[in-house]
Structure 1
């Protein structure tokens, strides 16, 4: 091959190389140095987003914790008020939803930041004098991811705390209803017992009153009988004595014969009066 032909081929190869590189540059292909710089910038940006997400999930978790604590210490009072129960349940579900979403966002940003940190470390060797700055940026971002992980775990704990207190609230409501039923049952039993006691009291009172009246009637009868017996007895005795005297004075009959009919008559009269 002649020297001229070799020169032509070399020139053609150079032209083809230039033509191939130009389109590549126009499509955004970066040198390793530029790529390393971009990764550092990306890592710093994700570090900021990670910190914001961490703050957001921390606030949501603290709000959920306060709700759970407040609900727990007032559990019995809340359980007695149906409207307050419904309100607390709604608020609890909202706290769970808010904290869960914040934790998911923090997890997403943390994972992106972790990947960016790795790429920044891998490309820091191309930055030469700025390699130390790249490493520092990666360290700071990595610290932010650790904080995010801690906040996410705390958020999960407080989410479970809200779920737990809502279950306790349901149990307290059920216990309150059961206690209310027992109180109503005891009240009804007491009412029935009181009514029965009153009825028994009335019955016993009536019996006592009837007994007292009967005693009074018997006492009255006895008194009247005694009085009657006494009065009539005196009259009869006096009459008998007079009759006896008259008979003795007449001398028509013997005293013994006169006394027997009189005594029989007296006993008959007394027996009739006792029966009456």
Structure 2
């Protein structure tokens, strides 16, 4: 939630005496999206997706009280995390290669969540490396599920959940000490997200949550919804939405 006063930053970060036009624009955009989200669910979390955007944009929103930011690329996230205040709660929301798990777990002590876990091997790598990082917080894990069945998307296969349940078993085991199984994530297909009707991709994730909650005695969160479909996602049960362009504006080419 946006606070009415500026919050403390690290000494290396200078806060402007007055808000720039860009800072005012970002705060207005964020507030608009946040209010729409809260009207549907007062406890929903809004993650501001800042990929390709400069650290100065993130700092402007940080100074307005925002703490949850999402990034899609490991090296971009590592660079921003080193530069920006250490109480930012970073969400990694991009495709993750197993070889990059070490960088995420080791280089970002304030990594809040990885929302794109799609196999057991990545969980084991994150956990083993995180154990070597002194003072690091546990990483919240979201298992990504391909509920739309699109071949270009990552995620556990919705109709074959044996591997997903094997990963859940590990996350809940005593062997795994630096990861916290917080929820499930999916990305709705373009067709489902623009139909104006109930999103069947979101519906499948809600149904899966119910099954896992019952089997493992959990109360999982759901990360569903982006700029074009976050309101429908919240209506269908999402507790965390990832919004980028509606807050920061269009992105430049990578």
TM-score normalized by the length of structure 1:
0.18
Higher fraction of helix: 1
Of structures 1 and 2, the larger Rg is shown by 1
Higher fraction of strand: 2
Tell me: higher relative CO, structure 1 or 2? Use CA pairs within 8 A at least 6 residues apart: 1
TM-score normalized by the length of structure 2:
0.19
